């Protein structure tokens, strides 16, 4: 049973990320101890601190993984529509679907801003899920001008809050409707 160094690294890193993800979701970052993580991953703390600078670096790796997965899910579903409005609505639906994966709202929207700081967290979002929204808004609201950035940011926040509310038991239909109304109102209003 000999593995190349690349294989060993790859497998150990992935085991740590998987175990970390599960425990961070279950108990939160602060309440999850590194001995618990490495036990779940089947390695020792030595391996953890060999592959990651510290506990936070492991968390960051988990977050980047999740953010990419969400962005990919959105891209896959919203890219096929032609009209901007339909694309945005489809993107919204895809976002909610993606965020229903166990614990994603907690990881991406609650823990990450506190653990990594709002700037780092926002940067990760902006490169991933938020990028689709910006593109959609730019297509739907060519007259937005300097307000495109702020609007993207505010609507992205609305999406995030909706995902949290849905996870907490809110009616998804209501939130999708509310989002649609915000989009349509925006289009109506800026069109003059």
Please give the residue ranges that form the binding site for DNA (CB under 7 A). Answer: 2-6, 8-9, 12, 32-36, 43-47, 49-51, 54-56
- Counting every residue written for the chain, the total comes to 192
| Helix segments in 28-117, DSSP class H | 34-41, 45-51, 55-78, 84-99, 104, 112-116
Q: Based on the number of CB atoms within 10 Å of its own CB, is 126 exposed (0-12), middle (13-18) or buried (19 or more)?
A: middle
Number of residues that bind a copy of itself (CB under 8 A): 46
- 186 scored as a contact of a copy of itself (CB under 8 A): yes
- 151 scored as a contact of a copy of itself (CB under 8 A): yes
Cβ atoms within 10 Å of 57's Cβ, excluding its own = 13
Report, in this order, helix, strand and coil percent for the chain, each rounded to 5.
80, 0, 20
Closer residue to a copy of itself, CB minimum distance, 43 or 52: 52
* Distance in Å, CB of 160 to DNA, minimum: 27
Q: Which residues bind a copy of itself (CB under 8 A)?
A: 28-30, 105-106, 109-111, 113-115, 118-119, 122, 146-147, 149-151, 153-158, 160-162, 164-165, 168, 170, 174-175, 177-179, 181-182, 184-190
């Amino acid at each position: 049973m000999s593995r190349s160094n690349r294989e060993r690294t790859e497998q150990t890193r992935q085991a740590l990320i998987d175990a970390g993800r599960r425990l961070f979701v279950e108990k939160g970052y602060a309440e999850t101890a590194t001995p618990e993580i490495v036990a779940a991953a089947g390695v020792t703390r030595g391996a953890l601190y060999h592959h990651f600078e510290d506990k936070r670096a492991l968390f960051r790796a988990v977050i980047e993984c999740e953010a990419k997965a969400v962005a990919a899910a959105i891209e896959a579903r919203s890219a096929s529509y032609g009209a901007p409005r339909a694309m945005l609505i489809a993107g919204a639906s895809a976002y909610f679907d993606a965020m229903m994966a166990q614990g994603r709202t907690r990881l991406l929207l609650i823990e990450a801003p506190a653990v990594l700081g709002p700037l780092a967290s926002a940067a990760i979002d902006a490169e991933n899920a938020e990028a689709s929204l910006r593109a959609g808004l730019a297509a739907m609201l060519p007259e937005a001008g300097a307000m495109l950035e702020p609007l993207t940011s505010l609507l992205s926040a609305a999406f995030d809050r909706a995902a949290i509310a849905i996870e907490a038991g809110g009616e998804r239909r209501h939130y999708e409707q509310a989002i649609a109304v915000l989009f349509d109102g925006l289009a109506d209003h800026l069109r003059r």
